[in-house]
Amino acid sequence: MSKPPLPDIENFIDGAYVAGSGVFDDVSPVDGSSVATVQEAGADVVDMAVRAARKSLEGAWGSSSVTDRARLLRRIADRIEARSEEFVAAEVRDTGKPESLVRDLDVARAAMNFRAFADTIASSPLSSYLTDLADGRQALNYAVPKPLGVVAVIVPWNLPLLLLTWKVAPALACGNAVVVKPSEETPSSATLLAEIIMEAGAPAGVYNVVHGFGPGSAGEFLTAHPGIDGVTFTGETKTGSTIMRAAASHVRPVSFELGGKNAAIVFEDANIDATLDGLARSIFLNTGQVCLCTERVYVHSSIFDEVAAGLVQRGQKLRLGRPDEPTTTTGPLISRQHRNKVSSYYDLAVAEGAEVLLGGGVPNLGADLDGGAWIEPTLWAGLDNTARVVREEIFGPVAALIPFDTEDEAVRLANDTDYGLAAAVWTSNLERGHRVAQRMRVGMAWVNTWYLRDLRSPFGGNGLSGIGREGGENSLHFYSIPTNVCVQL
């Protein structure tokens, strides 16, 4: 009996599906099987998408009111929830994540993103100033926000729907039109979202999707297109640097959330059980494939052995398996190519003198999963900040545990990095928690928690971790351009 044909994922432009100039496979990281074919967008298809976006700005969408856009975003959120299981299936098919994680985090947050930015845009005030001039005259100045224009939205494979909606929601709230380029590894949810947005009543051309790769493909064609007014990107630092060079030729604004080598500091007075639970989540969530994950753990020497043993115990309880199995806690890495990268760091750590406390290799899960991209959750001791595996982003379920003796030493070690995305401080002394968190050279610092977010707060990194801030009003500032109006009274 022949197998049914694989789904064919097409580009979405001006309210319709569009074929590409070539086709590539969407490969499951669970077992290495092809789960869909994807239409790759050539330069002509990318140009079509940019032109469709521009046309929508010149039509009714360009004159839409804040109230209308906020209502649209809320309708989109409602439809995401109504079709949530379709999004779960799409994300699981591409990423291999446990279904429960996708349902509770990725899909739930996608709907939340649209509602949060609907609320933000609806309550965003205008800036105005009444000025008394030296000659007795008065002037009223007020700033009117205008859309940035056509925005290129380039999203990664680790949280494809969550990060897509985190960018698309504020872009649409501000009245922009977008051309989305999802990762070639995770094309499904961006295409499904196109259906949702059209169902919610968005005009054709407001949301467009092009599929493909980076250099010599849709990514390069999009970022270099003269019709793009701005670029928002989440992904690795090297790719961000390439996009920045392309954007510079047309002096376009960019918003980048890039890599991280995030630190956690565990003081001797920390609540051990709560800290271990938080650390285990921050190291192993989504198989370590979250930009905010902890890869460096600095532990006070007086409790180092206790913390190390507790983390090993929690790591041993993780269960790798198929996404639909209720006992599964941990999925595969996104691809065998990425596993090769992570595995190379596992080998390097041993060569650099690491003591492997947990994992350190590729698991044997049986013939039906051997074609997947599985990796063992891993913990190391015996390294310091000079080791490459402590300095370079690995983006897997791994962390190095390093002892310290004083607060100043802990701060120095945590800040000894070219990255600056996030940090976590674990202590029962809240005065010290505030003090140390503020000394971290990062965009986000947590005290006695991790990954707890108010969507109105600034999100972004320093150094190699990015440029710009997203979240709440910060996002609106990027996706809009103020026009100041001065009226003499």
29 found inside a domain: yes
Q: Are residues 450 and 469 in the same domain?
A: no
Q: In whole angstroms, what is the distance from residue 489 CA to residue 96 CA?
A: 63
Residues 85-111: tens digit of each pLDDT: 999 999 999 999 999 999 999 999 999
- The CATH number of the domain holding residue 189 is 3.40.605.10
Q: What is the pLDDT of residues 360-409, one digit of tens each?
A: 999 999 989 999 999 999 999 999 999 999 999 999 999 999 999 999 99
User: Do both 483 and 433 map to the same domain?
Assistant: no
On whether both 141 and 270 belong to a single domain, the answer is no
* Residue 396 pLDDT: 98
3-state secondary structure 278-300: HHHHHHHHHHHCCCCCEEEEEEE
Residues 241 and 280 in one domain: no
For the segment 315-329, the average pLDDT, to the nearest whole number, is 97
pLDDT tier at 133, thresholds 50, 70, 90: confident
Considering the domain architecture, whether residues 248 and 266 belong to the same structural domain is answered as no
- 1 found inside a domain: no
Report DSSP state, residue 301. Answer: G
Reply yes or no on whether the pLDDT at 1 is more than 60.
Answer: no
pLDDT score, position 400: 98
pLDDT at position 134, please? 83
Same domain, 243 and 205: yes
Q: How large a percentage of the chain has pLDDT more than 90?
A: 94
Largest Cα–Cα separation, the chain? 90
Residue 68's domain comprises 8-258+465-488
pLDDT tens-digit readout, 207-250: 999 999 999 999 999 999 999 999 999 999 999 999 998 888 88
Query: Is residue 233 domain-shared with residue 318, that is, in the same domain?
Result: no
User: Is residue 2 domain-resident?
Assistant: no
Same domain, yes or no, for 251 and 317? no
- Let me know if residue 87 belongs to a domain: yes
Burial group, residue 103, by CB count within 10 angstroms (0-12, 13-18, 19+)? middle
Flag whether 188 is in a domain. yes
On whether the CB atoms of residues 346 and 413 are closer than 8 A, the answer is: no
Closest CA to 485 of 145, 141, 125, 126: 141
**By percentage, how much of the chain surpasses pLDDT 70?**
99
* Residue 478 and residue 356 share a domain: no
Answer yes or no: do 200 and 348 share one domain: no
**Is residue 289 domain-shared with residue 179, that is, in the same domain?**
no
Residue 459 lies in a domain: no
pLDDT in tens, 158-202: 999 999 999 999 999 999 999 999 999 999 999 999 999 999 999
- pLDDT (tens digit per residue) in 401-451: 999 999 999 999 999 999 999 999 999 999 999 999 999 999 999 999 999
Total domains, the chain:
2
Catalytic residues: 257, 291
Residue 3 domain flag? no
Q: How confident is the model at residue 3 (pLDDT cuts 50, 70, 90)?
A: low
Hey, what are 481's tokens? 């351009």
pLDDT tens track for 46-98: 999 999 999 999 999 999 999 999 999 999 999 999 999 999 999 999 999 99
Res 283 pLDDT > 60: yes
Name the band, by pLDDT with cuts 50, 70 and 90, for residue 2. Answer: low
One-letter amino acid for residue 187 of the chain: P
Q: How far is CA 409 from CA 241, 298, 404, in A?
A: 32, 10, 6
CATH number reported for the structural domain that contains residue 325 in this entry = 3.40.309.10
Q: Is residue 340 part of a domain?
A: yes
424: which 2 tokens?
Answer: 């976590």
Q: What is the pLDDT of residue 75?
A: 98
Is the same domain home to 39 and 101? yes
2, 215, 246, 460 from 242: Cα distances, Å: 44, 9, 7, 19
